[in-house]
Amino acid sequence: MGDPAQPAIGPAATTSPKSPRSPKSPGSSVETNQPAGETLLVADDNLEEFDGDGDSAYGVAENERLDVQHDLFLLTFDGRLHVANLDTEPHRVLDAGCGTGIWSIEFADKHPESHVTGIDLSPIQPSFVPPNVTFFVDDLEDDWNFSSNFDFIFARFCTGSIVDWPRFFKQSFSFLNPGGVIELQDIIYPMCSDDGTLTQDTPLKRWSDMLNDAFAGMGRGMDSAKAYPKQLAEAGFVDIEVVREKWPTNHWPKDKKYKQIGIWNTENILNALGALSLAIFTRPKEESGLGWSVAELEVLLAGVRKDMRDTRIHGYWQISLHLIIWTRDNYTAAAESNCRCASATMRLKKIDFRDVQADLDLGVPVKFNSSFHTADEAPDLPIPSELPSSFRRWLPLILRSRNIEERDLQIVRFTPAMTRLLVDASSASIHTRVLNKALAEDLEEEVGPAFEVPGRAAVHSYEDIVLQLTTSSRARITMTNYLRKRLDEPLELYFLPFDERMKTEMEYRVFCAPETLDICAISQYQWHKPWRFGKKTDREMEIIAERILAGAREIRLQILSDLRGPSDELDDMLRRQGVTFDVWYDDARDKVELVELNTFGVRSACGACLFHWVKDRDVMYGVGDGEVEFRVVI
């Protein structure tokens, strides 16, 4: 046993942090302490002054120092890139504040099935990286606009870099898949000492305290990790586990591991000392600095360097490790709701193709595919908003469902002037089905630049997209409505990679009732043609319909788990209005994938396919026996 009078420094080297998967109440946190009976790490009294290198102005370059810091974390956590116990291989990983990118690259090498996205304000990452790594220069405090959610978010040494941590955690929460994990590794200022050898009058302690106070004055406190558990819980996370480690000032501990950590940490701190201190100490007080002269700072830093090498001072920095699982609350509620939905039986209703054909012959169908009903037909129902089901809002889920990477997405943005030109061109092209030659040159000159994205290959060519836009009635309506609204933001078009397997005859429309979002009805999307499985036996048709329904229920579960709750106005509106969503069924792979979400309701613009919003209202709104009615044309 160690002498309890000597300073302890973290758990013994044989102690490993607990798995983040242990069940706890929502918002709870557990901090691992020195286990009773473990050998304490004590100071080695047979030491001379440590002979370390100078600071970064004279020593290693900053990028090299950051890589040394990476090795320091590996040493601290016994060679592990992450401590979180990832039950399954994470498909998408975010390295928030990736620095030189060394963690992203090493993680990608060890997990070839994962794709790692590294984000940092500084473009200091290497050019040659594994194919499953992508780096972006961006600000994590801006609105996140990733097209897909992540399974694992990793952030290390971001303290002092982020002002609004609650917002960072809320965005992390929104962009994590259900059951996903976030791991935070951070240092905590000011410095500590368990035996009082780091006194208030030492330059090292003074520097540490003043540095933290100055950063706090700018809203970037270096002790931000202390508030992480509370802020994470408020963002909705559960299973919050906190592990504390320590980085000694030098090689003063007796324990070999922490002695080695101290040696590396001396190198790390002394090489960062000048760069870390200069701006904050010499900036005027009115600019949130300390107002020191460079000469005054150099005197202080000389003392700091001396204290860092002094093995009689048993100082250390706390290293905080937070392991957190995405909230199970929404996911559990969604799963329970899906179980209730799954308990509903299915009724396969076969519509005679002759009835459909007769309805089509009328010019305007009266029995099927109704939409835009008037207030007279449904005086108790308002016109539903299209905003909650917008493609932009649900794009991450669509990409996940169809296993499409964000980098494979093409987004084209049109200004109002570009949109007006496309509408003008469509006036003739929509009838001739060919591009209006009179406006072809203007289109290429004015609209063409919207397709130029440096460094990225287009999914679809300019010619293909313009032809589709100018010959599609639906596109013309969308562009015309956009111009009528006189919006300031551009009109965005999203293009996904072409999949030759995906045909309209393989699509289905799923109707989910308001409030519960239970699936009440499903129709083949191509309602005016015989079902592609219509020649199979009755039992075979039922089996196929059941498989499609099962896939639709899984997508419904994903939609429910992606809802951000009553605090999000649009998501709450979607639940109150109900929703329809389109899926396609690939029978070769027996897989159902999400195409898009649409509005729901009698007065919506959404076509009812083989249903009629007014005549089949009870069925579509879930009033009655609770069965899911699945309609196909035979």
Residue 474 has pLDDT above 80, yes or no: no
Q: List the strands of the sheet with 591-598, edge to edge.
A: 346-351, 628-633, 519-524, 507-512, 579-586, 591-598
Confidence of residue 459 (pLDDT cuts 50, 70, 90): low
In angstroms, the Cα distances linking 14 to 34, 285, 526 are 12, 47, 63
Residue 587 has pLDDT above 50, yes or no: yes
- Separation between Cα atoms, residue 337 and residue 516, nearest integer Å: 8
Confidence of residue 485 (pLDDT cuts 50, 70, 90): confident
Contacts of 525 (CB under 8 A, 6+ apart): 504, 507, 508, 509, 582, 609
Kindly state whether residue 420 falls inside one of the protein's structural domains: yes
Considering its fold, how many domains does the chain have in total? 3
Convert 8-62 into a string of H (helix), E (strand) and C (coil).
CCCCCCCCCCCCCCCCCCCCCEEEECCCCCCCCCCECCCCCCCCCCCCCCCCCCH
User: Stretch 530-538: mean pLDDT, rounded?
Assistant: 95
Residue 3's pLDDT is 34
Kindly state whether residue 530 falls inside one of the protein's structural domains: yes
pLDDT tens column, 340-367: 455 568 999 999 999 999 999 888 789 9
User: Stretch 124-151: mean pLDDT, rounded?
Assistant: 89
Return the minimum-mean-pLDDT range out of 122-136, 149-163, 419-433: 419-433
Question: Quick check: helix, strand or coil at residue 241?
Answer: strand
Chain centre to alpha carbon of residue 443: 36
Confidence of residue 496 (pLDDT cuts 50, 70, 90): confident
Among the candidates 285, 307, 327, a domain finishes at 327
pTM: 0.51
- Give yes or no: residues 267 and 205 share one domain: yes
Residue 2's pLDDT is 36
- Give yes or no: residues 538 and 629 share one domain: yes
- Separation between Cα atoms, residue 147 and residue 101, nearest integer Å: 21
- Give yes or no: residues 590 and 491 share one domain: no
User: Stretch 605-630: mean pLDDT, rounded?
Assistant: 93
Kindly state whether residue 38 falls inside one of the protein's structural domains: no
Residue 217 has pLDDT above 70, yes or no: yes
- Give yes or no: residues 399 and 422 share one domain: no
Residue 150 has pLDDT above 60, yes or no: yes
> Please, are residues 340 and 94 in contact by the beta-carbon 8 Å criterion?
no
Among the candidates 465, 495, 525, a domain finishes at 495
CATH number at residue 289: 3.40.50.150
Per DSSP bridges, beta strands 579-586 and 591-598 are antiparallel
Kindly state whether residue 48 falls inside one of the protein's structural domains: no
Residue 208 has pLDDT above 60, yes or no: yes
Residue 102 has pLDDT above 70, yes or no: yes
- Give yes or no: residues 159 and 132 share one domain: yes
Determine which helix (DSSP H) or strand (DSSP E) holds 564, and give its type and residue range: none
Residue 473's pLDDT is 75
Among the candidates 327, 356, 383, a domain finishes at 327
- Give yes or no: residues 97 and 204 share one domain: yes
Q: Helices (H), strands (E): how many in the chain?
A: 17, 16
Contacts of 457 (CB under 8 A, 6+ apart): none
Residue 353's pLDDT is 96
User: Stretch 160-178: mean pLDDT, rounded?
Assistant: 89
- Separation between Cα atoms, residue 326 and residue 238, nearest integer Å: 6
Return the minimum-mean-pLDDT range out of 50-59, 211-220, 576-585, 618-627: 50-59
Domain range holding 372?
Answer: 330-407+500-633
- Give yes or no: residues 338 and 315 share one domain: no
The phi and psi torsions of 512 (rounded to 5 degrees) equal: -115, 125
